[in-house]
Amino acid sequence: MNCFYVYILQSEKDSNFYTGYTKDINKRLTEHNSGRVESTKNRRPFRLVYWEGCLNQQDATRREKYLKTAWGKRYIKNRLNNYLTG
């Protein structure tokens, strides 16, 4: 069974979030932190703060797009409330 992950990283440099999806979450985090992802290379290092599993790529891309909307960002803020407030 193929599994895809939607993930949210937080930059330790500027505290902003990055949302993406992948089949291999550990490999992808390594790629982000080693500067191999063009859109995030200047915001390294990152820590993984949230992830969700999806059964197929279509669900993962749909969920990623949702999490990038204002409603999705609000959802994540509520999910990470304890993390963000200490």
Whether residue 1 is predicted with pLDDT greater than 80 in this model: the reply is no
Across 24-47, average pLDDT: 97
Distances (CA, A) of 71 to 25, 36, 68: 24, 30, 8
Q: What is the pLDDT of residue 2?
A: 85
Q: What is the pLDDT of residue 82?
A: 82
pTM for the predicted model, two decimal places: 0.92
> CA 15, CA 84: separation in Å to the nearest integer?
10
The CATH number of the structural domain formed by 4-85 is: 3.40.1440
Task: Convert 5-42 into a string of H (helix), E (strand) and C (coil).
Answer: EEEEEEECCCCCEEEEEECCHHHHHHHHHCCCCCCCHH
Q: Which residue type sits at 69?
A: T
Read off φ and ψ for residue 32, nearest 5 degrees: -60, -45
